[in-house]
Chains A and B, each alone.
Chain A
Amino acid sequence: MSAEDRGTSEPEKPGRGSRMPSNSPFYEKVVPALLIGMAIIMGALILFAAGILLGIISF
């Protein structure tokens, strides 16, 4: 699932809380590492499921 969309189109200046904190190690290091890690795990799970489908992995 993803974030829900918003209905309006009026441009506004970003408000408080709508921008990432600058120089935050969490957003600069942890979040990208999590995204890359999860993408790798997702790829591995897809390959696993494809292996079952193709009969390469017996389940």
Chain B
Amino acid sequence: MSINLILPFLSTAIMFVFVVLVFQRFLARRKPHFLFWGTGLAMFGAGSFAEAYLSLAWSPWIFFAWYLFGAALNAAWIGHGTLYLLMRKKWVHGVTAVLILGSLWAGYLMLQVMPRLDATIFTTSKPISEQYGTKRLEAGEAAPPDAEIGQVVYRGEGVTVVRGLLPLGASVRLTTPFFNIYGLLTLVGGAIWSAYLFWRKRVLPNRVIGNVLIAAGALLIGFASTLTRLGYGQFLYIGELVAAIFMFAGFQAAAKPQVGESALAPEPSGD
């Protein structure tokens, strides 16, 4: 068995343990940030599992889970947990409503596109993130060497495309950058901000290191995904595994109790 087939399953196993630990904390403390972190991490785990499954076989509903939870929603939900922790103000509930409605809308758009998936181009020889999108080829633009080229009618016009599983112009793809920008800002930005607050006060080094690891892990996922879409898919699975390890280690380090830390934690910016 190739190492590339084992890595996504390892990432899934790490995320499973991570999710259980975070939900245990939610059950013990009933704080909303644990609920959003746990839900977002469960989505991340579902995405990792779907990716691992799709490296072995095709299933449209596994692809549904991969795109919706793995590609679109998970970072935004994890990051929203951080927003709940850092900004304890009422307007955060409004953002929660927008996030939930937006996620439902993305799910609806994904359901709508399911009958139009082009499964004939699916192959287990490439990561799913290299084959999900149909890309329009402009005049004179060269296609990647191993790409499947086709002709489709788009908005009444015949266009040449690199074929992908999702049809050209699928509306659900427009939602993904919104979720990912929000996720990056809150998840990575929130971790960097938390680390900076502790660093500035010169306290709780475990939380400084923990938040640095969390931010680095989240950025690694972004990097690995971007490299994959630029044609360097060989880094995706190892990138995701290292990211899962970093985030898990960061959470464990940040959550490690320290004597006297309650008086030293940064104050949230609201009531």
Contacts and interface: CB of A to CB of B under 8 A. Distances in A.
Partners in one complex: yes
Interface of A: 1-21, 27, 31-32, 34-35, 38-39, 41-42, 45-46, 48-50, 52-53, 58-59
Nearest to B36: A1
Contacts, number: 152
A16 B31 CA distance: 28
B86 A2 contact: yes
Contacts of A1: 37, 78-79, 81-82, 187, 190-191, 214, 218, 247, 250-251
Given A4-B85, A35-B199, A58-B138, 17 more contacts: A1-B191, A2-B86, A2-B193, A3-B85, A3-B194, A3-B204, A3-B265, A4-B34, A14-B264, A15-B258, A18-B260, A35-B196, A41-B223, A42-B189, A45-B222, A46-B185, A53-B177
Interface of B: 25, 29, 31, 33-34, 37, 78-79, 81-82, 85-86, 133, 135-136, 138, 174, 177-178, 180-181, 184-185, 187-196, 198-199, 202-208, 210-212, 214-216, 218-219, 222-223, 226, 229, 247, 250-251, 254-255, 257-265, 268
A24 to B, nearest CB: 9
Main secondary structure of the interface of B (DSSP, over half): helix
B195 A35 contact: yes
Contacts of B198: 3
A32 B255 contact: no
A1 B268 CA distance: 15
A4 B194 CA distance: 10
B37 A20 contact: no
A15 B254 contact: no
Nearest to A47: B181
A53 B82 CA distance: 24
Contacts of B259: 12, 14-18
Contacts of A12: 259-260, 262-263
Contacts of B257: 6
Nearest first, the 8 closest Cβ-Cβ pairs linking A and B are: A15-B259, A3-B254, A53-B177, A12-B260, A18-B258, A2-B194, A15-B260, A3-B207
B247 A41 contact: no
B177 A42 contact: no
Contact of A39 (B37, B174, B192): B192
Given A12-B262, A53-B174, A59-B133, A38 B216 contact: yes
B185 A14 contact: no
Contact of A31 (B180, B195, B204, B268): B195
Contacts of A35: 192, 195-196, 199, 212
A17 B258 contact: yes
Nearest to B82: A2
Nearest to A7: B29
B245 to A, nearest CB: 14
Nearest to B136: A58
A48 to B, nearest CB: 7
A39 B180 CA distance: 16
